[in-house]
Amino acid sequence: MIVFEKVEISSLILKNRIFRSATFEGMCDDNGFPLSSYEKMYKELCSNDIGGIITGFAFINRQGSAIHPGQAGMDSEDKIPFYKKITDFAHKTDTKIFMQIAHTGRQTKRKFTGETVVAPSDKSSFYFKDKPDILSTDQIQSIIHDFSMSSLCAKKAGFDGIQLHAAHGYLIHQFILSSINNRRDSYGIDKKFNIGTLFFSRVIDEIRNVCGSDYPIIVKISGSDDFINKFNIKQFINLIKFLDKKKVSAIEISYGTMDYALSIMRGDIPAELILEFNPVYKTESSIKKFIIKNLMIPLISLKMRKFTPCYNLEYAKTAREYTDIPLITVGGIRKGEEIKKIIENYKIDFVSLCRPFICEPDLVLKLLNNENYVSKCINCNKCTIMCDSDQFTRCYLKKNKKYRV
Ligand SMILES: Cc1cc2nc3c(=O)[nH]c(=O)nc-3n(C[C@H](O)[C@H](O)[C@H](O)COP(=O)(O)O)c2cc1C
Ligand code: SF4
């Protein structure tokens, strides 16, 4: 089956067309240094014949870190030896491994990072709420520099490439979206294309300056979002054309922003866990609990997109018409037969799966034994909500006394 044949991204040869998509681990210390659980988890994934692994998002500097406890950092050279143990192991098992790097922009809180929240504009995120300071051009230049330094650390740590997180409402995405970016300088929205790409372009250029033009850069983007002034198909096509010109190594296409996070990870909305762990909704008051559970969560869930199989595939199919760059589709892929169809019928180069690998790290081996294998993940989204807790990311189908739920 073509799914399990070797395939190239830039000059790298991957042993099959299955990626494990970026998955926040919650397995680092308060300064973003990986703990032994991080190493153990990646070594397990590497031992299970996955073609390419993308790490959970690592912050490029403290200001751009997330609210989730235990996020990885790639902001200093002293972290390199911790990651090197993982990349060395990956290479022994012939697995290609990419580090996803990100700056959160307005999608974080001062309370968690200890730093001013910054963004292209002063528009607050509906979910994160902190009003951001508008980035000056000097500050933008400094963040571009930090993206390149972070990439250089990833290269020195042995990662086969990086993935730039330009999806899910994080900083690069904030510059792209006309619903957020209202700047009047050159970092604003390009009137002809109705998207803002200068920041993205300069980040890519600076990484290439510092890491070499052949260091693989995969990008993750969102096909659309849930804002009133939503990212439309013309803007999406313009973004694909831009990435085609930039000759990035591959494009992974996801959906949405963290304002409506359960539109990114579709499926159930576990209200009880939200009430207990979500930093915005958790409360001790039983009246508030009642209101949030019975009014707010149902209202918000009306806005959330529903789970359907391979729910972002249409964007990848559209992108295929505008670029020959390798495309990766992510979101709702659960069956061996879906993977085969995506790759063979629609000429999408790769599939990428997140929750199925949290649930079954040996999923590829199972697919190799049975091409019609179906993932055991039931999209309950308990692992999604628990990113807000101080517990490691894991599948909650399995009972484990070490964890509270
Ligand atoms: C627990 C969890 C953590 C995630 N962490 C990240 C992340 O760090 N970076 C990212 O781009 N996407 C992240 N995602 C989104 C996934 O990469 C993926 O786009 C989404 O879950 C849809 O794929 P799936 O249906 O195979 O789970 C995360 C998803 C989950 C459930
Ligand atoms: S907790 Fe397990 S079953 Fe539920 S969505 Fe996450 S991986 Fe899937």
pLDDT digits over 140-157, tens only?
999 999 999 999 999 999
pLDDT score recorded for residue 403: 42
Question: Which H or E run contains 288?
Answer: helix 286-291
Q: Which atom of ligand 1 is nearest to the CA of 358?
A: 1
Closest residue by CA, ligand 2 atom 3: 377
Average pLDDT on 338-354 reads: 97
DSSP string, 8-30: EETTEEESSSEEEPP-----B-T
Closest residue by CA, ligand 2 atom 8: 377
Determine if residue 206 is left, alpha or beta; phi over 0 gives left, psi from -120 to 50 gives alpha, anything else beta. alpha
Distance 194 CA to ligand 2 centre (A): 37
Task: Record the tokens describing residue 141, joined without a space.
Answer: 């230049």
pLDDT score recorded for residue 281: 82
Structural domains of the chain sorted by starting position, each given as residue range(s) with its CATH number in brackets: 2-260+308-378 (3.20.20.70)
Half-sphere exposure of 53 (CA within 13 A, CB side): 30
| Single pTM value for the model | 0.97
Distance 285 CA to ligand 1 centre (A): 31
**Would you place residue 400 in the very low, low, confident or very high pLDDT band (cuts 50, 70, 90)?**
low
Query: Does residue 381 line the site of ligand 2, with CB under 6 A?
Result: yes
Query: Does residue 269 line the site of ligand 2, with CB under 6 A?
Result: no
**Would you place residue 162 in the very low, low, confident or very high pLDDT band (cuts 50, 70, 90)?**
very high
Query: Does residue 382 line the site of ligand 2, with CB under 6 A?
Result: yes
Of 6-10, 35-39, 280-284, 347-351, the poorest mean pLDDT is in 280-284
Distance 191 CA to ligand 1 centre (A): 32
Cα gap 400→404, rounded to integer Å:
8
pLDDT tens digit string along 224-250? 999 999 999 999 999 999 999 999 999
Query: Does residue 395 line the site of ligand 2, with CB under 6 A?
Result: yes
Q: Which atom of ligand 1 is nearest to the CA of 57?
A: 8
| Nearest ligand atom owner, CA of 393 | 1
Q: Which atom of ligand 1 is nearest to the CA of 383?
A: 1
